Amino acid sequence: MPVRGRKKKRRAVADAAAWYDVFSSEFDFNGDLADAGLETDAYGRPDWEEARKAWQRLGQAFLEEFAAEYPNGAHYVPWGLEQFGDPPR
C-alpha cells in the first residue's frame, strides 16, 4: 500500500522585503512571495487576508523603508496603507 505524503504544518513566513512590492502596489512583480512559499493569483496578488496579517506584522518596517526610499514623499499612497490603515507599532 502506498505511503501518504504529509502536509507541512508550518506556513511559510515572508519578510518585509518579500512583501515590499505588494505593500506598495498590491502586486508581487518579482515573485518574492512565491519564492517564500506564498501563493498569489495569476496577476501576482496575494490573498487579501494574508496581506492584512502581513501588514499587521510588517507594515511599520515597510513604512520606514518606504520613507527612506522616498524622503520627500512619494506621489502616491502605498497600497498597504490605503487598504489596511496605519500598522500597529
Q: What is the pLDDT along the chain (89 residues), one digit of tens a residue?
A: 566 665 444 445 688 899 999 999 999 999 999 898 999 999 999 999 999 999 999 999 999 999 999 988 888 999 999 999 999 98
Task: Say how far apart CA 5 and CA 36 lie, in whole Å.
Answer: 21
Amino acid occupying residue 42: A
Q: Where are the beta strands (DSSP E) in 1-89?
A: none
Query: pTM of the prediction?
Result: 0.80
Q: Which residues pair with 46 in a beta bridge?
A: 40
Cell of 18: 518579500
